Amino acid sequence: MKNIAIFASGSGSNAEKIMEYFQNSQQVKVALVVSNNQNAFVLERAKKYRVPTMLLPKNWKSDAENISKNLKEKGIDLIVLAGFMQLIPSELISAFPNKIINIHPALLPKYGGKGMYGMHVHRAVKSAGDSESGISIHFVNEKYDEGEIILQKKCSISDEDTPESIQQKVQKLEHEYFVKAIEKVLG
């Protein structure tokens, strides 16, 4: 059995899809949901699937070694960032080499980097007048959105699309393909 920990800061619709998909799996278990935000709806979603949760304190980055130790003790094999809005400290990255993945709601390397998250991304895609967007699932390194790409999927955008409708198209791809990328990484 491979244990995954999902890190999320907000709603957690992706986290829920992952918990739902693996709930009866004999190979993969969502062993933990981690959040930096005590009001994040993802914590409610975790309760629904009886997945234990961990709330990160404000200064958690200065305590990253202990957090890594704690995750190791819980037998975590893979960390999945699903709408986690903070940079991962290098201690955690070196404790889990190639075992931290992130989903980004655009076709990296476009529209990545600090400040590029959620609706900011879809608004930028709309103002650039792009004819396509999509999702990128990638390994996490010390820089925002720059690790090796594991999987990308595209959707087309028409002139009538709004940032909100682009978000819906992108979210549909996320909900379908994130679990597939997780399975691929776990082998």
Is 11 one of the binding residues for ligand GAR (CB under 6 A)? yes
Is 133 one of the binding residues for ligand GAR (CB under 6 A)? no
Q: Which x/- pattern, by CB under 6 A, does the window 135-154 give for ligand GAR?
A: --------------------
Among 96, 174, 179, 182, the residue binding ligand GAR under the rule CB under 6 A is 174
Give residue for tokens 């200064």: 59
Minimum CB distance to ligand GAR, residue 59 (Å)? 22
> Alpha-carbon dihedral of residues 106, 147, 184, 40, nearest 10 degrees?
-60
Among 5, 12, 30, 173, the residue binding ligand GAR under the rule CB under 6 A is 12
Nearer to ligand GAR, 10 or 72 (CB): 10
Residues 144 and 113: beta-carbon distance below 8 Å: yes
Amino acid at 125: V
Assign residue 186 a region: left if phi > 0, alpha if psi is -120 to 50, beta otherwise?
A: alpha
In order of 38, 156, 178, the CA distances from 13 in angstroms are 16, 22, 11
Residues numbered 82 to 111 that lie near ligand GAR (CB under 6 A) are 82-83, 103-105
Minimum CB distance to ligand GAR, residue 73 (Å)? 27
Stretch that binds ligand GAR, among 7-15, 93-101, 147-155, 158-166 (CB under 6 A): 7-15
Cα–Cα dist 135/160, whole Å? 20
In a 3-state reduction of DSSP, which class is residue 4? strand
Cα–Cα dist 129/166, whole Å? 12
**Which residue's Cβ has the minimum distance to ligand GAR?**
83
Cα–Cα dist 154/132, whole Å? 7
Would residue 104 show up in a list of annotated catalytic residues for this protein? Answer: yes
- Tell me how many residues contact ligand GAR (CB under 6 A): 17
- Which residues here bind ligand GAR, judged by CB under 6 A? 8, 10-15, 82-83, 103-105, 117-118, 121, 171, 174
The residues annotated with a catalytic role in the active site are 104
